[in-house]
Structures are given as C-alpha cells and as structure tokens.
Amino acid sequence: MSTERTEWHAGAQELAGYLSGRAPRAQAASVEAHLLGCADCRALLARVTGETGDTAREAAWERLADTIDRPSAGLVGRLSRGHLLVRSSVATPAMVQAALASTVLVGLVPLLTALAVGDAGLVALLVLAPLAPMAAVALAFREGADPAGEISLATASAGLKVVALRALAVSLVALPLAVAVLLAVDTWVEPVPMRLGAAWCLPGLALAAVVLLAGTTRLDPMRVALAISGTWAVAVLSLVTVRRSLRPEVFIDVLASPQMQAVALAVALGALVLTVARRDAIAYRRIA
Amino acid sequence: MTATTTTGSLIEATDLAKSFGRSRAVDGVSLAAAGGVIGLLGPNGAGKTTLLRMLATVLAPDAGDLRLLGLDPARSAERVEIRRRLGYLPQSPALYPGFTAYDLVDYVAVLKEHTDRDWRRHEVRRVLESVGLQDVMHRKIRGLSGGMKQRVALAAALVGSPELLVLDEPANGLDPDQRLRLRSLLSQSRTVLMSTHNISEVGALCQRVYVMFAGRVHFAGTPAELAGLAAGRVWEDERQDPQAVRSWLTATGTYRHLGDPPAGAQGVDPTLDDGYLMLARRAHP
Amino acid sequence: MEQRSVTVDQEQRSDRDLIAEIAAGDRGALHELFTRHQPWLAARVRHRCSDPEIVAEVVNDTFLVVWEKPGKYHGDGEVAAWLWGIAIRTLLHRLRPRKSVFERLVQIRPEHVPSAEEAVLLGVEHGDVGLALQRLSPELLAVVQATVLDGLSTREAAALLGIPSGTVKSRMSRARLELREALL
C-alpha cells in the first residue's frame, strides 16, 4: 500500500458508526472512499465486526467454496456432471483427440493418394475405412485412455462397461467425421460407389468386435489391431491388383456381396457375444 | 464405509505366483495381515510391484490362493465388493495432465461408485486437505510438482476411506515433512500394505515387514526382529577391517562392520539396515 | 491444522500477488483475498441494498468473478477498487436487469475520466471535503456517490437511482458547482 496522502484513518468508533448505519451520509461516503485505499483500516473493520462478522464471513466462504469446488468446466466437465457411466467414458480428451487424429488420417491418406495416383485413392479408402472403428476400440483399452491410469483398474467400475462405452464414445465422435470424409472423396476425388459407402460398415464392425474380444484374452488389443490392419491391407491389395493394374471394382464387388456381408455380421455378433460372456477377464486383467 | 465382514485376517495370501514369459516375478509368496501398516521391503525387481498388483485385484495370480477382506477376487461379484473397500496407489501413477487435482480425485470417487454429488464434494475436499493440497486443488496436474502429483494419486487412493490400502512406494517424491504426515494418514485405514526400497521408512511407518528378494519372501516379522538378525554381528572401529563381511564409513567418522566380530571388538546395537544387509547377504551369498 | 508449504508469511502477500496466484489456480490465495475484503465489501453493499440475501449473492458473485476471470484485473489501481467495480455492477444488474437486446447493444461505456473535482474527492477523504459533501442535498449526494465514489457511468447511475440520464448529468453539474464553491 502506498503512503497515505492524508494522515486521517478511520478509527474504530467511526467504523462502528459506519457499520451500524448511524453515520451521516457524507461521513459514510468518506469512510468508504478511504477503505478502498487502506488495507490497515480494512483489517480494522474486520476486527470491529467481531465474532458475528467472522461467523458470517466463514459461512460466506463455505457458500463460495461450494460453488468453486466442482469438476472444471469445459465440455468434458459439463458432460461429466451426469451419470457415472457417461463420466468414465468421455473422460479423456486426449483419447478423443487421438481417435479424431486417426480418423482424419483415414481421410487424408485416400485424398492425397488420389491426388497423386488417381485410382489408388479409392483403394486406399477401401483399405483404411474398415480399420477406423477398430482403432477406436484398441485405443479404449490403453492405460492412457483413462485419466487416472492404473488407479481405475482397482475401482468397482473397472470392466467391460467402461471400455465399451469409451469405444462407443470415440466412435460416435468419429462417425460424422468419417461420413464427411466419404462425401469429400466422393465430391472431389472420384465418385465413391454407394455400395462401398455402405459395404464397409459391417466389416468394420466385425474387425472392431474382434479387437474387443482380444481384450478379454492375454493378447494386447493394440497388437491385435495392428496385426489385423496389416493382414487386411495385404488381402485387399492382393485382391485388387489384377495383372499389375489396380481394379478396385473387383474388391468392391466382393465386399458388397451378400455372402461377405453375412460373414461380417456373423463374425461381429459372435465376437460380441463371446466378449460379453468373457467380460470378467477385462475387469481382472491377465496382462500387466 | 462399513465393514460387513469381521473375519480376522484382511489379507490372506498363500503361495501366490506370477510369471511373465519365463521370468517368475512372484514365486510362491505367502502373506497374512489383519490390521496395521505392513511394509514390503526389497530391491527393485524383487517382485513387489507384481505382488501388490495381485493384492489390489488388478492382476490375476497364475497360482495360489488369495482372500481379501474374506472374499475371493477370482469371483467377479466378490471382486467388485473388494474393490469398493480398497484403495490402490500404483508406482508412477499416470495422471491426465489436463485434469485439475480436484477433477482427478472426483473422477476416481465416481469410479468408486460414490454417486451423491454433495457427499463427494465434501469427501474430495477432505482428502485433498489431508494430503496438504487444499490450496492447489483447482490447478491442473501439469502445473503441479512431482511431489504434488504423488499426493494427488495418494488422495485418489484414500478417497472414500477404504478399509484396505495397497500402496506401491507411497513416499516416492515426498519431502520429509510430508513423509511425517503419511504416518497419520495411514492410520486411518484398517490395513495398509505398502512397498518401499527405503529402509528408514519401514522403521518409521510399519508394524510388520516382509522382505522380498527375487520373487520370494525371505523374512516376515517386526522391524525389531529384522534388526535383531544382525544382533551380535555389528561392531565399530577406527579403521577398516578386512575380515568383515561388509564395512562402511559412518557419518561420525568411524567404520561400521558387519560379520563375525573379532575378540574385543566394540559391539553396537544393530539397526534395521544391518539386519537387512545380513539378510541380503544370506539370500545372495 | 493447515500445512503451510510456503515460507513467506501469508500476511505479506499483496493483493496484487494474490490475484496473480488466483490466476494460477491457487484456492488458498482466493481464501486469503476473501478474508481480507469480504467484510468491507459486504458492509458497503449493505449500505446500498437492505435485502441480506441479495447482499450475500452479490458478494458471492463478485468473488466468483475474481476466481473465474482474474485476468480482468489489469494491474492498474487498487484491487479493492476493482472489487468494488464488480460488486456495484453486479448489484446494479441484479436490481435493474437489462431488458432489451437493443439496450445491451447501446451499452457502450466510454472511459470515465475524472474531473478535477472528482480527482479531489477521490484523493482527500476527510476534512474539507467531508464538510462540503454534507452541505449537498440528498439527491445531489446520491448522484455524487453513484458516479464519483462508486464509479458508475451516467447511464448506470441513472439505472441504479431510477432517474433519467439527463437528470443525473444536471445534478452532477450542480453538485460540482456547489463543491467548487465549498472547497475554495
């Protein structure tokens, strides 16, 4: 506090008069103006209010603390105010960011390859699109997906519910982006056959369910996801390369065929049923 | 949290084993605890973390019997009940840096199924105050020091006043002042199992201690009994003694020796360090 | 018992330091600032509004603003003055909520440049000025208090006192004249 320009300070009497409302308006105004600049007199005023003042102040602090002591604001915080399960599934923005990044990648690679090599853009899309849901599931298993890390594994809520909800939350966020990517490729690169637009869903779901099932075993879901990615890429590329030229229509026909879709559906359902049956293994991990 | 079981032992482990590939991290460990603070002492790589993970129901043992709070963690319904009454602090906890300390402890409280928001607010505040973080509870974790981060994780383990606490190196990163506080914090739970590679912590905090080397328990008893292993085998001298098994220079300038004392040697009372060294010597001759 | 991990005596932290710490998320700093300023702030608001519930709300909301937007304090002038600015405007909006969007769009407050009389009033708290103020009629005093001492703009003072802006201006001119005469 800088040096006072006058030597006048509010004495205890004047402060008491001010507090009780008995002081004339001019003096009250004078006291108020002085208090704005004098920490000592403010402290004196606090003392003059005595015990009742202290109690009132503590109660007021409790009221303020109750307002500020809550999970921080922002989208995560606001969503988290709700039900326990919503909370645990959207809790890590980092994970959502990772999933979004991978979805963007799924979109960018076809676009870029198409710009570079034309036909290959569609092939790239064929390879990558069904892998995106799988990425969401694999990410949901990672320890980094939980903001409390290993601590959460020892809580009552640990288990399939949390992992599945996390994967679902990520997928729901990534889904509009995926659709936008398909539309972008369709508009600016080359027309995407409608059949392809729909055909990749079930295979994508099947692959994701397999990774989810892997989480109930000793295998690391991330490694399983990577293995599947590699195998899938190789399979697609070999089917598509007919006599040294790329013929994506061949694969699109295979993928969109009723038999293939039925197989994908069966795999998806089977894997999901098995996962639910083995869900305890997620809660009591067999890997460190 | 009310204890619905009144079984004598809160932890009963018999011949627990866990291997990763070919290495046996835990090789036939038996342990029993019925209250108080139990220390798990041993060098890095002794299997302490793996054992604690099993006792915290985070990892399933390959073999052996385990009962926690009288319940069997291999059964899912009982495991959930154990977890409701358990608090776990892992080694190097990975906390999301974008959360505030309050966010994180609140989140763990939610995972522990505490759905009443008002109760949670009071409990989160209480537990953060108990670890001395009341001033920084609304700061993001990335802005906290290492010791503070450790205390956030500790608070998360303590939230809800669990009956059973499993702590992996809880004093890691804490300054001496906070270590002193740890003692009163630990007294709140009925049973605490904590690991450390720091012998002085055992003396300061634990009523019982298990010493582990290479996946096995080599000692179970009180700290006094551990020190007693070196009874009559410690002496001090002005100079070095090549006959001693171990010798070192103490802070007072004399040499302290461990082994078979020569005749007329100045025997001294053994400390925990002495007992531990004696044990280590026997385990790895 | 609270553990103090800082070695600096709490009392020595200036209000400015506290604001900086609040900006860094220090809840303890907010508590300290609250302890120092809640008493006089509550008293001053009570002198403008007799409803205790509103007073409590205004004080609560003021410190909430401090917690959520500490950056609004630009380091100029006393922290106490900044706190009062928030409090009086919170009170104003509580008592006279702004009705229309148009009114809100038109709420452009120019920088308040204190006149010579106002500078004097702000600087000298007692003695001559007190006496001079006493001579003013209640309506003039109310206007002086609202604009000069509470720092409200003409429009805000008009809203608080429930009179047209023109009346505020004319009363301020009369008050200035009378004060000038009294101080000379």
Min Cα–Cα distance to chain A from C105, Å: 27
User: Searching chain B, which residue's CA lies closest to the CA of residue C4?
Assistant: B132
In tens, the pLDDT along B215-240 reads 999 999 999 999 999 888 888 888 87
Q: In what order do the strands lie in the sheet with B11-20?
A: B23-33, B11-20, B63-68
- Note the pLDDT tens digit of each residue in B3-46: 444 445 689 999 999 998 889 999 999 999 988 999 999 998 88
Contact C39 A42 (CB under 8 A): yes
A112 versus C119: the higher-pLDDT residue is A112
Task: Inform me whether the C-beta atom of residue C126 falls under 8 Å from chain A C-beta atoms.
Answer: yes
Residue B212: the pLDDT is: 94
CA distances from B55 to B7, B11, B83, B151, C150 (A): 17, 8, 11, 21, 64
The pLDDT of residue C26? 94
Amino acid C131: pLDDT: 64
- The encoded tokens of residue C51 equal 């409803």
Q: Give dist(CA A75, CA A97) in Å, integer.
A: 13
* pLDDT (0 to 100) of residue B1: 41
Q: Which of A266, A110, A269 is nearest to A178 (CA)?
A: A110
Asked if pLDDT for residue C113 goes beyond 60, the answer is no
Q: Is C110 on the interface with A (CB under 8 A)?
A: no
pLDDT one digit per residue (tens) for chain B, 285 residues: 444 444 456 899 999 999 988 899 999 999 999 889 999 999 988 899 999 999 999 988 999 999 999 999 988 889 999 999 999 999 989 898 888 999 899 989 988 988 888 999 999 999 999 999 999 999 999 999 999 999 999 999 999 999 999 999 999 889 888 888 888 888 887 899 999 988 988 988 899 999 999 999 999 999 999 999 988 888 888 887 777 888 888 888 888 888 888 877 778 899 999 999 989 888 876
Using the beta-carbon criterion (under 8 Å), do A154 and B98 form an inter-chain contact? no
Q: Which residue has the tokens 């959520």?
A: C68
Total Cβ atoms within 10 A of residue B73: 24
How many beta carbons lie within 10 A of that of residue C45, not counting itself? 21
Which tokens in the block code for residue A54?
């202290």
**pLDDT tens-digit series, residues C57-78:** 999 999 999 999 999 998 888 8
For chain A, what is the HEC assignment? CCCCCCCCCCCHHHHHHHHHCCCCHHHHHHHHHHHCCCHHHHHHHHHHHHHHHHHHHHHHHHHHHHHHCCCCCCHHHHHHCCCHHHHHHCCCHHHHHHHHHHHHHHHHHHHHHHHHHCCHHHHHHHHHCCHHHHHHHHHHHCHHHCCCHHHHHHCCCCCHHHHHHHHHHHHHHHHHHHHHHHHHHHHHHCCCCHHHHHHCHHHHHHHHHHHHHHCCCCCCHHHHHHHHHHHHHHHHHHHHEECCEECHHHHHHHHHCHHHHHHHHHHHHHHHHHHHHCCHHHHCCCCC
> How many CB pairs (< 8 A) connect A and B?
122
Amino acid in position B60 = A
Average pLDDT, chain A: 76
Whether C4 has a pLDDT exceeding 50, the answer reads: no
CA of B199 to nearest chain A CA: how many angstroms apart? 26
More confident residue, A68 or C93: A68
Q: What is the mean pLDDT of residues C151-175?
A: 86
Contacts with B108 from chain A: Cβ below 8 Å: 148, 151-152, 155
pLDDT at C100 over 60: no
Interface check for C59 against chain A (CB to CB < 8 A): the answer is: yes
- pLDDT the model gives residue C83: 94
> For residue A278, is pLDDT > 90?
no
- Contact between residue C73 and residue C67 where contact means Cβ atoms under 8 Å apart: no
φ/ψ (deg, to 5) at C150: -90, -10
Residue whose tokens read 């199924």: B113
pLDDT digits (tens, 9 = 90+) for A151-184: 988 998 887 777 777 777 777 766 777 777 777 7
Beta strands in chain B (DSSP E): 11-20, 23-33, 36-41, 63-68, 86-89, 164-168, 191-196, 208-213, 216-221, 234-237, 246-249, 255-258, 266-267
Q: What is the Cα Rg of chain B in Å? A: 21
Contact C164, C158 (CB under 8 A): yes
pLDDT beyond 50 at C124 = no
The pLDDT tens digits for A103-142 are 676 666 666 666 666 666 667 777 777 787 787 777 777 7
Longest dimension (CA), chain A: 103
At A140 the pLDDT is 75
CA distance A157 to A172: 22
How many angstroms away from the CA of C18 is the closest CA of chain B?
Answer: 12
Kindly state the helix (H) or strand (E) to which residue B52 belongs, with its residue range.
Answer: helix B48-55
Residues B62/B139, Cβ–Cβ less than 8 Å: no
ipTM here: 0.87
Contacts with B138 from chain C: Cβ below 8 Å: 25, 27
